[in-house]
Amino acid sequence: MSTRWMRKGGSICLLGLLLLAGTARAGGPVATVRVGFDRDGITSTQVHGFADKADGRKVTADDPVRIASISKLVTAIGVMRLVEAGKLNLDADVSGQLGWPLRNPAFPDTPITLRLLMSHRSSLTDAAGYWQTPLGGQLRDILKDPRAWDTQHAPGTYFRYTNLNFPLVAQVMERATGERFDRLMQRLVLKPLNIDGCFNWDTCSEATAARAVVLYDVDGKPAKDDNHGRKPDCPVVPAQDGSCNLAQWRAGENGALFSPQGGLRISANGLARIGRLLLDNGRIDGVQLLTPASVQALATPLWRYHDGDGLTYEEDTDDRGKGFFCRYGMAVQTLATPATGCHDDPFGDGIERIGHSGSAYGLQAGLWVDREHGTGVVWFATGMPDQRLGGRSAFSAVEEELARGK
């Protein structure tokens, strides 16, 4: 058994091969990455395991990973840039931008707004699906399925974490600008922040795509982005005839195409730049990307758990740990809610933090900032089970260790 030594800040840590490889057979993650930061930059880095087991490539904090639902927070930053530019209105009926009426059939007189979509109070559900709408398909068709709607609660009255909200947000963004969502997010967020990330592998560089973190399931089998060091032949769900010609794209027809709800590929170091933006009220390295008022609008909870007014878990996964969601703004979750039934503090210190979690394809991830003390952390682990298991909180035991830097 080989070992690896790391020296940081005068201390030495022994990382055994079992932790390094994170073999799923032993019940551990395939890879873990943790990056600490403050307003000025990176303060600590911990990496264990492999980005790609097949070729023995070890993971680094610069390797892009499909960061799952943290993508929603980044999408919301793009929305706020368009709001500041006068292109979007958070409280306008989105039907006008979509070009067709978005209405819960049980509440046809209640408009649905971007603010409701981004805070998961739209009355939409994920029961009808959303993720397999093909190139050339119409996302609108899914909304004709009665299962897409919560007919017991009017828009604005109930929190239900719903991925489908964000393809509709992306669709509104495309209609407002005429730009393809993946390219729009490059222009609005990723390039201004000097982040080499993408919502579509085609818009990442060849070098970045070659460093992709393979996502493994709990059995250690590749589940996503096993691209063998190159860009995939088709980065989206192909058209029904099997073709993959992105020239078929039309603004505002299929907001799910580039997975705004979960498809951002970004490194831990890149995600730390998003965290620094939140820490410093929309500013990073001299660039004022958002106004402080926009950051505050994102972060302010629009829903706080009270019995009967929302679900504290995500229905779209096998993870039914109650008390995970207890405060939520516009794609920003607040942790450490001091209320009965809430178990949303993986750090275990009672400090309020804002950010977002991510869980998909064997990945568990988090971006969390403590604005009062000016610090933050990014983490991800691959090869994880669908459920968050073993923790004192609603987070997994692995995430709790990463939160505390252990």
The predicted-structure confidence for 352-402, as pLDDT tens digits, reads as follows 999 999 999 999 999 999 999 999 999 999 999 988 888 899 999 999 999
Q: Which amino acid is at 387?
A: Q
pLDDT of 1 > 70? The answer is no
Whole-angstrom CA distances from 32 to 44, 357, 366 are 14, 15, 12
pLDDT digits (tens, 9 = 90+) for 50-109: 999 999 999 999 999 999 999 999 999 999 999 999 999 999 999 999 999 999 999 999
pLDDT of 316 > 90? The answer is no
> Whole-angstrom Cα distance, residue 66 to residue 258?
12
> Whole-angstrom Cα distance, residue 5 to residue 23?
19
DSSP 234-275: -SSPPPTTS---GGG--TTT-TTTT-TTT--EE-HHHHHHHH
Query: Which pair of structure tokens corresponds to residue 329?
Result: 């703004």
Terminal CA-CA length for the chain: 22
Alpha helices in 348-404 (DSSP H): 397-404
Position 17 scores a pLDDT of 33
> Whole-angstrom Cα distance, residue 360 to residue 405?
22
Confidence of residue 27 (pLDDT cuts 50, 70, 90): low
Tell me the backbone φ, ψ of residue 87, rounded to 5 degrees. -85, -25
Higher pLDDT, 18 or 324: 324
Q: To which CATH superfamily is domain 30-404 assigned?
A: DD-peptidase/beta-lactamase superfamily (3.40.710.10)
